[in-house]
Amino acid sequence: MDGTRRWFLTRVGAAGVVGVAGCTGGPSGTGGELTPTDGTDTASDADDGTSATRVGMVYATGGLGDGSFNDQAQQGLFEAEAEFEIAYQEAQPEAVGEFGSYQRQFAESSDPDYDLVCCIGFLQTDALTSTSSNYPDQQFMLVDGVVDAPNVSSYVFAEEEGSFLVGQLAGSLTTGEFAAGAGATDPESTTVGFVGGVESDLIRKFEAGFTAGVEHADEDVDVVTNYVGDFNEPSGGKEAALSMIDGGADIVYHAAGNTGTGVFQAAQERGRFAIGVDRDQSLTKESYADVILASMVKRVDTAVYDAIEAAVEGDFEGGGVVSLGLEQDGVDVIYGQQLGAEVGAEVKDAIATSRRAIVDGDISVPTDPDDA
């Protein structure tokens, strides 16, 4: 294994299956230049004689350890591992150009043969459109994108709905005096910020919902926005957030993967606040818990778990789109473990009221910032 690069972890999730898979077929190599490997999977069969369901995971750029999107997807894998008899391998591409190679390697592998390939992130959509067509017998699932193919199950989320709630939180707190943990608002400033990763229709949904939520709380609050252009550039996230904070923003929300780590760093250095994304980042990035007001959680784990469950039970259905919003508990606001208790009941109640109104259709949340 190339020690200079994040690569594959092979695990076995089954009662009665001993150890981990040894030399296996499937993806291998570095830098996107892949070569198949030969060998046998020592987890070929469970003790009861049935074959384990094999899952290939192709993560988004940014890799595992982001405390956010990829880690949330992996959590779904772990949940499935605890429940079902599965064996799996994980690939962590470093560039968009590697997605197709990894998808193909999993699809082409015959020793082992992968029952399901999970493709995490909208940037995999173009590659999977081609891969799914070339490998019609391979089952795929895609998170955050839609591929209209009979062997692909697509999962999308109403990111704008959850972002509306954290936007309302930011808009409510920035106009008053609020201090907790290592942060404090500036009542003389009514500005909040949004830091995105790669600018795209998907990430603009986060921005649109956040902006609409801020405006719902107070129409006089300004939202400043910056797209770093990368999901794995903490230094860029920090630079963007510092610029916002120094310009008057006292709360910054990010939808930027590991780039968002820099947002937390900036908030902590300047004594302001941040809002996390995808997971409860006051837990996954606990060294910044003293400035993380809340996180807009996105249940990517649910999507991964459900797809694996369907593959295990022989119920996998491609060609469809599964939508997960507030009503389906696919997105939500989770208050920070350290700071959440400091947020007043009046603010929380107002946000809970908005949540119900969105689910009931009484509040329509835009998906484009130009409409917010």
Residues 262 and 360 in one domain: yes
Residues 141 and 177 in one domain: no
Q: In what helix (H) or strand (E) does residue 210 lie, and over which residues does it extend?
A: helix 201-217
**pLDDT, position 34:** 35
Query: Confidence class of residue 370 from pLDDT cuts 50, 70 and 90?
Result: very high
* Domain around 164: 159-297+339-371
pLDDT at 20 over 70: no
Instruction: Convert the pLDDT of each residue in 147-185 to its tens digit.
Output: 999 999 999 999 999 999 999 999 999 999 999 999 999
User: From the CB of residue 40, how many other CB atoms can be counted at a distance below 10 Å?
Assistant: 13
Q: With respect to residue 5, please indicate whether it lies within any of the assigned structural domains.
A: no
Six token digits for residue 65:
């350890």
Domain count, the chain: 2
Residues 151 and 269 in one domain: no
- Quick one: DSSP state of residue 290? T
Distance CA 142, CA 156 (A): 9
Q: With respect to residue 23, please indicate whether it lies within any of the assigned structural domains.
A: yes
Distance CA 255, CA 241 (A): 12
pTM for the model stands at 0.84
Six token digits for residue 8:
């594959």
Distance CA 252, CA 233 (A): 17
**pLDDT, position 187:** 86
Instruction: Convert the pLDDT of each residue in 92-120 to its tens digit.
Output: 999 999 999 999 999 999 999 999 999 99
Instruction: Convert the pLDDT of each residue in 247-265 to its tens digit.
Output: 999 999 999 999 999 999 9
Q: With respect to residue 3, please indicate whether it lies within any of the assigned structural domains.
A: no
Beta bridge partners, 227, equal 196
Beta bridge partners, 191, equal 222, 249
Query: Confidence class of residue 271 from pLDDT cuts 50, 70 and 90?
Result: very high
Residues 143 and 167 in one domain: no
Residues 346 and 249 in one domain: yes
Residue in the structure block whose two tokens are 């081609």: 130
Distance CA 190, CA 302 (A): 36
CA angle at 207 for the pair 205 and 213, rounded to the nearest 5°: 100
Percent of the chain at pLDDT above 70? 87
| Burial (CB count <10 Å: 0-12, 13-18, 19+), residue 219 | exposed
